[in-house]
Chain A
Amino acid sequence: MALTGLFLCIFLIAHLAGNLQLLDMSPGGQLKFNAYAKFMTTFPLVKAVSYLLYASILFHAFDGLLLAMQNRKARPIKYAYEKANASSKWFSRQMALLGTLVLVFIVIHMKQFWYEMHWGPLGMDADGNKDLYTLVAFSFTQLWYVVLYVIMMGVLAFHLMHGFASAFQSLGLNHPRYMPIIKNVGVFFAVIVPIFFALIPVWMFINA
């Protein structure tokens, strides 16, 4: 869980860095983004890492849900009256629910862009690359997509709010001097990364 979770966190940084190019909505930006998308789907090393990524998502999701199912069985009779918030955060207890929502989002998101990039009927841009940019820009003229993306980034934020520091604890990396730093970095990461992701559809919607 921890290793795949942290790998997915690193992936988020790389994915975000690439996507921020979308903020440049000039014709030059369009060509640059399409060239980048071509590189990401054809360069062998990137392809190898992307297979590792698919495997990680699947493993992380299956293992997470398996653990969550075992955990439910560990308490067959629930408390009639429980003040769970007195001792832990709600998002720490709801990692499986938050993760499942993220999974649903990943499926929608991959169908929308990844599938279309690989097998969909995409037009070509002036440089002869598949015009993924226009598909993205068109998608984000639809308000409900923008709203969905923003909400889902909120869900991701809470998953990471617990997940980032949790992964270090799972790996045994808890030291009185460093744990406060890890926790602060985790909160910072959990807030900043989803905000920047959410900024892209909002920006494209406003500037369409």
Chain B
Amino acid sequence: MGNMKLTLKIWRQNGPKAKGELNTYPVNDVSEDMSFLEMLDVLNDDLVRKGEEPIAFDHDCREGICGSCSLFINGEAHGPGRMITTCQLHMRKFKDGDTIHVEPWRAEAFPVIKDLAVDRGAFDRIQAAGGFVSVNTSGNLVDGNAVPIPKADADTAFDAATCIGCGACVATCTNSSAMLFVAAKVSQFALLPQGKPEAKRRVLAMVEQMDKEGFGNCSNTGACEVECPKGISLEHIARMNREYLAASVTKE
């Protein structure tokens, strides 16, 4: 079935504090129809049979919607190809005989848990700082669809909401900045009437948490937008900058 032979250089690290290194693994029998994760499954199967420790990597849905899978493959977040996650990356993107580098997301705010798996809890804490709307659930809840929303606003909010929190934006950014992620989460509420009452508080709190987590500063290189599997646009970062500037000067 498989027709490709590859050499993988994979980051192995036993735990958060352990020293890691790139190890070399040959893999045979790779089919071009496999996803990158399936290829890693084949390698892990092999390692387990040999009594070696399998390589830890994150994955869940394997259809590009959960944001679990990560991996910096051959120098790019989610590997070669645009608008895809690693689970959507097919081995046909590579050639027989290729050497492929596989590293975890690199950022102070995304510490390695083991091998290729990193802790993206910083994103959860940013979200918890303000990425929500407080709704009254005591029986007088308003039907969301009863509030008129211009189509263009609804569409843009939805575009922002397609962010899956994968962290590719951070991984690819030369500054390890999380601005694209935070901007998407701010925008998805800022554009909707339901999000307006808490808009100022939200943007200030989420940006504050982002800085606390140790992400770098955005210098507008634009790399995040290129590598984002969901095509989240830099316009959302500009919207967050506007919201942030306005909230900073008008806060009580």
Name A's B-contacting residues (CB within 8 A): 67, 70-71, 73-84, 86-89, 92-93, 95, 162, 165-166, 169-176, 179
Tell yes or no: B36 within 8 A of A by CB.
no
A86-B75 in contact (CB<8A): yes
A71-B175 in contact (CB<8A): yes
- In the complex with contacts A76-B108, A77-B106, A86-B75, A71-B219 CB distance below 8 A: yes
Measured in the bound complex, the distance between the Cα atoms of B176 and A166 in whole Å is 18
- In the complex with contacts A71-B219, A87-B227, A81-B74 CB distance below 8 A: yes
Contact of A78 among B22, B106, B172 (CB under 8 A): B106
Tell yes or no: B174 within 8 A of A by CB.
yes
Tell yes or no: B237 within 8 A of A by CB.
yes
Within 8 A of A (CB), among B214-252: 214-223, 226-227, 234-235, 237-243, 245
A166-B72 in contact (CB<8A): no
| Further contacts, 4 of them, CB under 8 A, given A74-B175, A87-B222, A169-B234 | A86-B76, A88-B226, A169-B241, A174-B237
Measured in the bound complex, the distance between the Cα atoms of B172 and A93 in whole Å is 12
A169-B75 in contact (CB<8A): no
Measured in the bound complex, the distance between the Cα atoms of B217 and A166 in whole Å is 13
B108-A67 in contact (CB<8A): no
Tell yes or no: B90 within 8 A of A by CB.
no
Q: Is the interface of A mostly helix, strand, loop or mixed?
A: loop
B220-A170 in contact (CB<8A): yes
B241-A71 in contact (CB<8A): no
Tell yes or no: B107 within 8 A of A by CB.
yes
Measured in the bound complex, the distance between the Cα atoms of B235 and A179 in whole Å is 9
- In the complex with contacts A82-B75, A93-B221, A74-B172 CB distance below 8 A: no
Measured in the bound complex, the distance between the Cα atoms of B101 and A71 in whole Å is 24
Contact of A74 among B76, B176, B226, B243 (CB under 8 A): B176
Complex interface: chain A residues within 8 A of B108 (CB): 73-76
- Nearest first, the 4 A-B pairs at minimum CB distance are A172-B242, A83-B75, A174-B238, A74-B216
- In the complex with contacts A74-B108, A74-B177, A81-B101, A172-B245 CB distance below 8 A: yes
